[in-house]
Every structure is written in structure tokens, then in C-alpha cells.
Amino acid sequence: MRKQLRKLAYQAEITIREATESEPRKLVGLIPYNKPSVDMGSVEIITPTAFDKTLSDRADVKALVSHDASKVLGSVKAGTLRLTSTDNGLLAEVDLPNTTFANDVWETVRRGDVTTMSFGFYPINERTEIQNGKEVHYLTEVRLLEVSFAVAWPAYEDTTSMARAVRGVNLDKLEAVLAKETIESNDLAVVKDTIEKLRALLEPSPSTTEAAQSTSAGDFLASLYAAAMHKEK
């Protein structure tokens, strides 16, 4: 079974290097080893061996703007993206092209508006541990596809990672239930279970903004349950 593409974000320092007479301007960022990713319900940790095969195979990894494949900043094949495994993490250095979107990225990084790096990959080998009631996934080997600079809203963006974020929820089963014209009484257990697990992830935080978002999400879950009840025979 083919493992699905995952995208993982880190709060990382992205630095700029001004152009010189012999070198183009560059962005440099580090994907750290042995440090937790942005927490979106579960945490992933990159081990120092994770990128070894990608680097030894000289895979044509791309540098993108926020995972947008139409905005390529550089590539390993062209020599405009260089990836180096260091003691601290995977160092990514990209020569910026003279394009509008590259100029925009340069300016937003220079101003400090965005500080997050992310990368897209296929997991090859990993192990999972439960720490303090939370899933922690140690990635020991991945197939790296792209590194992204200037990620404004770090998040897991694929169904596999989203399923992890709602631990234990069978989203396929829920989708099948909601697709029915009428819902049987025993189907309501699936809806109730999903709502409870989603609600647990949406508990209000001390932040007023986040609390407001949680309330809105709670209203949505209530509406979901009401819709299911309306369909019930």
C-alpha cells in the first residue's frame, strides 16, 4: 500500500543572504533533527537518518513557496537548491530567481512576517510512541519531495495527517454514513463518536481568538449532529 504524501511544518529561522558580485541572493533555512514539529493534534520528529537516502540518491527535490508547485524557487537538479545534512538538521539553501513571487518571499522573510519552513515527503519508515497521552511519530526514513519557505499557516495538509489529528476517528466510515439519504439509529453512534473526538481537539485555549474559533467549531459540530438526527428514520 502506497503511503500518502505528508507535509510537516517547523517554526524555523529563515535567513537571507544578499547578492554579491559572484553569488545570487539566497534564502537559508534549517529543518531540525530531534525536535517536535508544529503540534496539530500529533507531533512528528525527524531523526538524523531521515533524509540519508534522498541525499545519497541525489533526488530532484524542489524548493517551493508554501507548497505551491507553480511557484518554484529552485531545484537540486538545476543546482539552485542545495541540501546538506548537518549535526543540527537538514540545511536548505536556495538561490532565488528574479520573479515576482520570489521577490515577494524575499521581502516577507526580510521583514520577519514569516518564519516557518515546511516540507513535503512520503514516509518510508517510522515508529510511534505515546508520550503524555499524545502520539509522537519518529520519522527514521522519508522520501523528500520538496522544501517550502514562507509558510504562513503551518498545518498538516493531507488526509493521513488529518486523520492523525483526530485520533481514532474513522473518517471514511463517517463520510459513508453522512452520504446516506436516511441514517439508521445505529449509525448515530459513529456521528456521536466523531463529534466527541473532534470536540476534544477544539477545547478553548486561553486566547480569546482561539476560544472564539472553538465556539464556532462547536456550533458546527452541533449542527452536524442535528442534521444526522433529522435524517434518522
* Vertex 229 angle, CA 225 and 231, to 5°: 120
CA distance 216 to 162: 19
pLDDT of 223 reads 56
- Please give the model's pTM, rounded to 2 decimal places: 0.63
Provide the pairing of β-strand 134-149 with 62-65: parallel
State pLDDT tens for residues 53-84. 999 999 999 999 988 899 999 999 999 999 99
**Cell numbers 536556495: residue:** 94
State pLDDT tens for residues 162-217. 333 344 445 555 656 666 666 677 777 767 776 776 666 555 444 434 444 444 45
Q: Which of 153, 10, 2 is nearest to 68 (CA)?
A: 153
State pLDDT tens for residues 121-167. 888 999 999 888 788 889 999 999 999 887 765 543 333 333 333 44
